[in-house]
Amino acid sequence: MPEGTATKIMIISNELYQAFEGKAASTLLSHSIDETHHLAAQLAEQVKQGEVIALFGDLGSGKTTLVQGFCKAGGVTAPITSPTFTLMHIYRGAPWPIYHFDFYRLHSVAEAQALGCEEYFDGDGVSLVEWPERALPLLPARHLQIHLRIPDFAASPELREIKIHRAEAVA
């Protein structure tokens, strides 16, 4: 393990715990896809059954990359791709199912409601939702929000700023 890696992991774990418990928002930098996968793996360790995680960010910001790391940490061996055209993928292999939604192509909350996504949000698994702004009123009041973006100062194409906080009510 490279020097400083263990300290960095402990800091990330503490930051995630604080965000998960709703005690503080956390802002982290990921310098690579591997670091984003590692962050997602730590997230998967702390998540509980029934959790909804809303992933905000522009195209190419790393939402699907984060989902891939989360699913791999949950024991999923199948290929993990964005469900842009199918709107949802269900992954098995974790202690519970992982429901991966992509609402990019939706134009209204009514379209999301017609999919029956609320049943999954209240279900037996964990829901990861890309482009959640298209269905915010359907998300449970208490959910985790993760905002991914490429910083303006990014010297590397893989650098991402990741902000995590617990939403207590939908705005």
Q: What is the 3-state secondary structure (H, E, C) of 51-67?
A: CEEEEECCCCCCHHHHH
Q: What per-residue confidence (pLDDT) applies to 7?
A: 41
Q: Which residue has the higher pLDDT, 94 or 44?
A: 44
Q: What per-residue confidence (pLDDT) applies to 4?
A: 45
Q: What per-residue confidence (pLDDT) applies to 106?
A: 92
151, HSE (Cβ side, Cα atoms, 13 Å): 15
Share of the chain above pLDDT 90, in %: 50
Average pLDDT over residues 129-151: 93
Q: What per-residue confidence (pLDDT) applies to 170?
A: 46
Candidate CATH numbers 3.40.50.2300, 3.30.70.270, 3.40.640.10, 3.40.50.300; the one for domain 5-167? 3.40.50.300
The span from the CA of 20 to the CA of 135, in Å, is 22
Q: What per-residue confidence (pLDDT) applies to 120?
A: 92
The span from the CA of 82 to the CA of 100, in Å, is 8
Binning pLDDT at 50, 70 and 90, where does residue 8 land? very low
Give the burial string for 34-46 (b: 16+ CB within 10 Å, else e).
ebbbbbbebbbee
Residue-wise pLDDT tens digits, 66-98: 999 999 999 999 989 888 888 999 998 768 899
Residue 129 contacts residue 103 (beta carbons within 8 Å): yes
Residue 112 contacts residue 105 (beta carbons within 8 Å): no
Q: What per-residue confidence (pLDDT) applies to 86?
A: 85
Residue 15 contacts residue 39 (beta carbons within 8 Å): no
Average the pLDDT over each of 112-116, 127-131, 161-165, 167-171 and give the range with the smallest value.
Answer: 167-171
Residue 52 contacts residue 70 (beta carbons within 8 Å): no
The span from the CA of 31 to the CA of 4, in Å, is 14
Residue 146 contacts residue 55 (beta carbons within 8 Å): yes
Q: What per-residue confidence (pLDDT) applies to 99?
A: 95
Residue 126 contacts residue 49 (beta carbons within 8 Å): yes
